[in-house]
Amino acid sequence: MLKKLRIILALVFWTGITLLFLDFTGALHSWLGWMAKLQFLPALLALNVGVVAFLVVLTLVFGRVYCSVICPLGVLQDGISWLGTHKSKRPYKYKKELKWLRYGVWALFVIALVAGVQVFVALLAPYSAYGRMVQNLLQPLYLWGNNLLAWLAERAGSYAFYPREVWMRSLPTFLIAIVTLVVIVVLSFKGGRTWCNSICPVGTTLSFLSRFAMFRPVIDADQCVRCKTCEVNCKAQCISITKEAVHIDYSRCVDCFNCIDTCPKGGLKYRFAWGSGAKTPQNAPKLAEKDHSGAESAKNAPESAQRRAFLAGTAIAVGAAALKGIEARAQEVAKKTDGGFADVLPKQAPKRETPITPPGSLGARNFYRRCTGCQLCIAECPNNVLRPSTDLNHLMQPEMSFEKGYCRPECTRCGELCPSGAILPISKETKTNFHLGTAGVNTDLCLEATGKSQCGKCAQVCPTGAIMMVEQGDVRRPVVAEEVCIGCGKCEYLCPVRPISAITVNGREVHV
Amino acid sequence: MKRRDFIKISGAAALAAACAPKGNQSGSGLADGPEEMVYRTNPNNGDKVSLIGFGCMRWPMVRNADGKSEINQEAVNEMVDYAIEHGINYFDTSPAYLQGQSEKAAGIALSRHPREKYYIATKLSNFSDQTPEASIRMYHDSFEQLKTDYFDYYLLHAIGSGGVAVFRQRYVDNGMMDFLQKEREAGRIRNLGFSFHGSPSEFDSLIGLHDSGEYHFDFVQIEMNYVDWTHADGIRNANAKYLYEELDKRGIPIVIMEPLLGGRLANVPESIAHQMKQREPDMSIASWAFRFCGSYDRVLCTLSGMTNMDPLLDNVKTFTHFQPLTEEELVFMEEMATQMMEYPMINCTDCKYCMPCPWGIDIPGTFQHYNRCITEGTYAQSQEQKNYRKLKQAYLVSYDRAVATVRQADHCIACGECLSHCPQSIAIPAQLSRIAKYIESLKQDTL
């Protein structure tokens, strides 16, 4: 019964959060946005006292139900381990807590969080890891499905579906998402909640509370026949049944209730047991049996972290090389016949000395300290402006660029979505109060300044009137009133000069 | 969609009727006309020209293996075969059409038939390079492309705008008029004429050259349809009525282009379509426009740029059962034209002379989409409208479908390169800017 309830709730949360990451229309976030805001680390970073207090109390009362229900990565692992073990009669066995790994990672994580090494935080934070996988690996499939519907709709004369471009926003982040998925699959396929109990910093944080939880699964030693059914069904591998003693490590128990459900004698109960399990077990069972898999998974974990860092590094190098390799092609002028299209080169991102952070982020300081790189804003940005940074310091954290669109005046979606307070909600009306960056003109490229053509596009389209055309000698050139420019990128996006625009936006450290 | 279906069905009906013995077609709704194609006689040389001609400017394009647009030759062959089989014998092309591919495709398709079965019209489209060398090369190239050693009708392509001055620059100063007149004497050009786009005064000055005997034009090609008859702006674009009457006075045979305004008169707003269908339930909307043109005796040929078999079948039907409009019907057409003018459409006929825009904008695509939305009533006018959300979504989604994002109106930099190419004298950058603003107001909900 409890297990069923857990599964139902878990599926509701997991589906909701996954849909939140998949949906690109913005239709779902007013319904499901709260599920992201309920995530522990984002709520902590957003200084969302209410949510943090709720989660603390929840864990103190019921144990780590967060890990079994609210955390999408946890639910995903349950799914994967079900696939890996449901045919096996004795899928798990008790394993000792890997203290050095668990608390070592946790300590590093806290240090990284305080010191602002967000790459490390983003790599390990469970919600971010999950979001990264969905945005990078699942959303493309979702979009292709949508595009198929759009294709059909077009043929049926319907406007219900429209296609959406599927594009690689950042190779390093994509590769990290793949590595994350591989690590999660490898660890959970046969190992259940190994990740959650050896690596996940949120899991470890909650474990400090869950050992004091009021309600927990308790083994009635009198009824227990030492059949080990609970032990072999424990995904967290935290139940030890020996002749000498029965014991549950509540720091690792995620309250999945598999043990209660499977106990043939009804000897396990989820009940009020405050104050009985804080101490470590006195009769810690001896592990006489061979324990290859446990040792392996313990070894795997730190290695995979290193591998990810390594892959990220190489991926960045590869990505940068690819960008440099694309050289500007001169536009060919064809002989005048009617019809046909002139080539339009795809735009390339210019070098920005200061990256542009989204409207509502208030500036680099606030943004980079709070963003956990969950990719939710990136998955949802309707103008294809946001993409994960490839800068090692801000890896996976979003930044803005205007090759495929610009930050449109009516859109405030990223701020509405962001669960960690890195991007605060702003209104359409106040959007122009935030100066994300400042446009600058490259007169070597500008059509007007070089006398190649009359243009003035940037001045014509600037929503705040920050760009003016001034006479300089016998040519005109655009100039930018720095304090009026809000850095929305419309000028850069619409500048006819390709592949790198003649007017480009550089970010501002402080937006207000 | 409905119209196409209708045409398909009615086209099939026409075919069936054509196969049936004469007098066995009552109840089909077809007018009791002659079973055969209508021909007009060119008074200059007795050419029997079908009243409907094949314009080779709108043939279907497909992407080839290299991703380049290419004429679908197979479809062209099929259409040309059908057209010739059903009596169409006038084919109008130009070295500039369809990215320069039209003449070649026409040559391939037509050369499969005996040369005396059809008349070829092509043009000296020397828009970009007016040196004698380039113009003469273009002229000779047309022979090669069209696989012929004479042209039945040869046109100075799109003169009018800029008046006599531009005419002299393109054809006189480089010696091309002398050259072409000699070619006419040599029989390689059987009829020399020009196609006209411009103001009444520009027309007057050009036809003055004919009047004065400086040059003799055997025929003139003008834009004519029931809207342009008296509703062209009359300032930058002469009314067709004026042009027709001036040419009629002089006894010059007239070839008609844009009888459908680039298809707009085949797909008219619903209220207008309703009135036409009320009168002729079984005739297509397009047939009204063709009957209008054919109702004037000085018209030698009406060109239709047919993209696929559907309009071809419909046109063959219209011109094999040809019924000139009655006086009363002409009044009705004038009424329809007046109603058409109430829709804020852009006067684009999708001729693509403005293309390629050097900055990659899809100018005709943007205008066609805009016009289509107005015609079909999917054009949001205010947020107060009951179905505003739906109309907004329909406009934006269909716009993205019709025109790639980087080729949309907001990317126009108003360089003005297109302006001199537009035969309709559309203020293209201003119109693109208007559409871009409209779309902004849709996106921002400030309409």
State the SS3 of A249-299. CCCCCCCCCHHHHHCCCCCEEEEECCCCCCCCCCCCCCCCCCCHHHHHHHH
In a domain, A58, yes or no: no
* Claim to verify: residue A317 and residue A397 sit in the same structural domain: no
* Claim to verify: residue A115 and residue A135 sit in the same structural domain: yes
- Averaged pLDDT for residues B67-86: 94
User: Strands A386-388 and A398-400: what pairing?
Assistant: antiparallel
* Claim to verify: residue A172 and residue A230 sit in the same structural domain: yes
What is the pLDDT at residue A163? 93
What is the pLDDT at residue A473? 87
Q: Do A335 and B100 touch (CB under 8 A)?
A: yes
Convert the pLDDT of each residue in A243-292 to its tens digit.
Answer: 888 899 999 999 999 999 999 988 898 999 887 654 434 343 333 343 44
Residue B421 distance to chain A (closest CA, Å): 9
Q: Which residues of B touch A410 (CB under 8 A)?
A: 443-445
Residues paired with residue A471 on neighbouring β-strands, in sequence order: A476
Question: What is the residue whose two structure tokens read 């989204």?
Answer: A358
Strand intervals (E) in B151-237: 153-160, 192-197, 219-223
Q: Is B357 on the interface with A (CB under 8 A)?
A: yes
* Claim to verify: residue A246 and residue A170 sit in the same structural domain: yes
Count Cα neighbours of A349 within 13 Å in the Cβ-side half-sphere: 25
Q: Do A461 and B410 touch (CB under 8 A)?
A: yes
The 10 Å Cβ neighbour count of residue A88 is 10
Confidence of residue A427 (pLDDT cuts 50, 70, 90): very high
What is the pLDDT at residue A29? 86
The 10 Å Cβ neighbour count of residue A148 is 12
In a domain, A20, yes or no: no
In a domain, A33, yes or no: no
What is the pLDDT at residue B431? 93
In a domain, A61, yes or no: no
What are the Cα distances from residue A368, in Å, to A173, A355, A371, A394, A432?
A: 16, 11, 6, 7, 22
CA A32 to chain centre: 16
User: Strands A475-480 and A467-472: what pairing?
Assistant: antiparallel
B356: preceding bond cis by omega (within 30 degrees): yes
State yes or no: pLDDT of A156 exceeds 90: yes
State yes or no: pLDDT of A315 exceeds 80: no
Q: Is B233 on the interface with A (CB under 8 A)?
A: no
State in Å, rounded, how far the first CA of chain A is from the last one.
53
Question: A407, A505 in Cβ contact below 8 A?
Answer: no
> What is the C-alpha to C-alpha distance for residues A343 and B360, in angstroms, rounded to an integer?
6
Closest residue in B to A428 (Cα–Cα): B444
Q: Which residue has the higher pLDDT, B128 or A351?
A: A351
For an interface test with B, the pick among A329, A337, A460 (most B C-beta atoms closer than 10 Å) comes out as A337
Question: Could you give the angle at the alpha carbon of A439 between the alpha carbons of A433 and A442, nearest 5°?
Answer: 175
State yes or no: pLDDT of B325 exceeds 70: yes
Question: A489, A502 in Cβ contact below 8 A?
Answer: no
Q: Which of A333, A359, A383 is the last residue of a domain?
A: A333
Confidence of residue A333 (pLDDT cuts 50, 70, 90): very low
User: Strands B153-160 and A475-480: what pairing?
Assistant: unpaired
> What is the C-alpha to C-alpha distance for residues A211 and A189, in angstroms, rounded to an integer?
26
Q: Is A344 on the interface with B (CB under 8 A)?
A: yes
Question: A491, A338 in Cβ contact below 8 A?
Answer: no
What is the pLDDT at residue B35? 67
* Claim to verify: residue A245 and residue A125 sit in the same structural domain: yes
Question: B267, B307 in Cβ contact below 8 A?
Answer: no
Give, as one character, the DSSP assignment of residue A445.
T
Q: Which of A286, A317, A333 is the last residue of a domain?
A: A333
In a domain, A401, yes or no: yes
Q: Which residues of A touch B55 (CB under 8 A)?
A: none
Convert the pLDDT of each residue in A186-245 to its tens digit.
Answer: 999 989 999 999 999 999 999 999 999 999 999 988 888 889 999 999 999 999 998 888
One-letter amino acid for residue B203 of the chain: F
B259: preceding bond cis by omega (within 30 degrees): no
Q: What are phi and psi of B118, to 5 degrees?
A: -145, 160
> What's the token pair of residue A114?
């305080």
Residues 6+ apart with CB under 8 A from A404: A165, A167, A347, A383, A384, A385, A493
The 10 Å Cβ neighbour count of residue B326 is 10
* Claim to verify: residue A325 and residue A346 sit in the same structural domain: no
Question: What is the residue whose two structure tokens read 């043990």?
Answer: A259
pTM of the model: 0.77
* Claim to verify: residue A463 and residue A409 sit in the same structural domain: yes
Among A38-52, A270-284, B251-265, the least confident range: A270-284
Q: Which residues of A touch B1 (CB under 8 A)?
A: 157
The overall average pLDDT reported for chain A is 87
* Claim to verify: residue A310 and residue A404 sit in the same structural domain: no
Count Cα neighbours of B99 within 13 Å in the Cβ-side half-sphere: 15
One-letter amino acid for residue B284 of the chain: S
In a domain, A201, yes or no: yes
Q: Which of A310, A333, A356 is the last residue of a domain?
A: A333
In a domain, A247, yes or no: yes
* Claim to verify: residue A162 and residue A262 sit in the same structural domain: yes
- For chain A, the domain total comes to 2
Among A113-117, A122-126, A249-253, the least confident range: A113-117
* Claim to verify: residue A231 and residue A346 sit in the same structural domain: no
A234: left (phi over 0), alpha (psi -120 to 50) or beta: beta
Question: B302, B290 in Cβ contact below 8 A?
Answer: yes
Confidence of residue A360 (pLDDT cuts 50, 70, 90): very high
Does the model's ipTM exceed the 0.85 cut?
no
- Averaged pLDDT for residues B61-70: 88
In a domain, A142, yes or no: yes
Residues 6+ apart with CB under 8 A from B26: none
Query: Which of 484-503 (A) contact B at CB < 8 A?
Result: 494, 496
Q: Is A142 helix (H, G, I), strand (E, B) or coil?
A: helix
State yes or no: pLDDT of A309 exceeds 90: no
Q: Is A26 on the interface with B (CB under 8 A)?
A: no
What is the pLDDT at residue A286? 39
Question: B294, B324 in Cβ contact below 8 A?
Answer: yes
What is the pLDDT at residue A65? 95
Confidence of residue B5 (pLDDT cuts 50, 70, 90): low
Q: Which residues of A touch B359 (CB under 8 A)?
A: 342, 344, 496
The overall average pLDDT reported for chain B is 90
Question: A33, A23 in Cβ contact below 8 A?
Answer: no
State yes or no: pLDDT of A22 exceeds 50: yes
What count of CB pairs under 8 Å joins A to B? 90
Domain range enclosing A417: 335-507
* Claim to verify: residue A255 and residue A395 sit in the same structural domain: no
Question: A412, A340 in Cβ contact below 8 A?
Answer: no
* Claim to verify: residue A318 and residue A186 sit in the same structural domain: yes
